[in-house]
Amino acid sequence: MSNIFIISAPSGCGKTSLVRDISRIYDFLELTISCTTRKMRKGEIDGIDYHFVDQATFKAKINNREFIEHELVYDNYYGTTYNSIRNIVNSGNDAILEIDHKGMIKIKKQIPSAISIYILPPTLKELKNRLIDRGLDTKEVINKRISNAENELKFSRFSDFTIVNDDYDIALSSLKSLILYQKIFQNTTISRLNSYFESC
């Protein structure tokens, strides 16, 4: 039996670290690799962190209906292809996706059995401090991210579960427990998911 896990959060809430760590802990989880038009950051690897493509390639994929969800975020496109999920599910593994709230809602509408988990910061002040400390963005971009986060946090009510990332180890332990519970008790089958993908 395969599941689809959606991990969502505003930027800076720790979803990337949580997803990478949980994928290492549970070998039945496989992270989907999204496409993006943003520039590669130091230490990132094409095909591992993202599929880095230019805008023309990305738009061609949109026209070819290759994406289950895609968004323009901070002037860059991000998208999840049908194949990135289908290939994982067909292999017998569980797919785990790291996407924003819009992508979460789009996928939940199309695949209601997907399990959505929203990561929350303890406070917006702490979120801003984390964005400053990681040193990836300008002051203007950080302020924009915080402003957007105020709105994005409202969408946590549409997720199946929420985890507050105040203490990272506790947040990771909570995520481990949630995923293991769903793995044991969820009744989503590969055939049901394949039926969905065959209809796309």
Question: In this predicted model, what pLDDT tens digit does every residue of 18-52 receive, in sequence order?
Answer: 999 999 999 999 999 999 999 998 899 999 999 99
Phi, psi of 68 (to 5 degrees): -80, -30
Q: How confident is the model at residue 1 (pLDDT cuts 50, 70, 90)?
A: low
Give pLDDT, residue 29: 96
Measure the CA–CA gap between 99 and 96, rounded to whole angstroms.
Answer: 10
Residues 6+ apart with CB under 8 A from 18: 7, 119, 165, 168, 171, 172, 175
Give pLDDT, residue 198: 65
Average pLDDT over residues 147-175: 92
Output 56 or 123, whichever has higher pLDDT.
Answer: 56
Question: In this predicted model, what pLDDT tens digit does every residue of 71-107 receive, in sequence order?
Answer: 998 789 999 999 999 999 999 999 999 998 999 999 9
What would the CATH number be for the domain defined by 4-185? 3.40.50.300
Pick from 119, 118, 116: nearest CA to 186: 116
**Are the CB atoms for 3 and 88 separated by under 8 Å?**
no
Average pLDDT over residues 144-162: 88
pTM of the model as a whole: 0.82
- Residue 114 reports pLDDT greater than 50: yes
Could you state, in order of their start, the residue ranges of all structural domains in the chain? 4-185
Measure the CA–CA gap between 25 and 173, rounded to whole angstroms.
Answer: 11
| Paired tokens of 98 | 């790291």
- Residue 148 reports pLDDT greater than 50: yes
- Residue 145 reports pLDDT greater than 90: no
Q: Three-class SS string for 23-91?
A: HHHCCCEEECCCEECCCCCCCCCECCCEEECCHHHHHHHHHCCCEEEEEEECCEEEEEEHHHHHHHHHC
| Paired tokens of 119 | 């990561």
Residues 6+ apart with CB under 8 A from 173: none
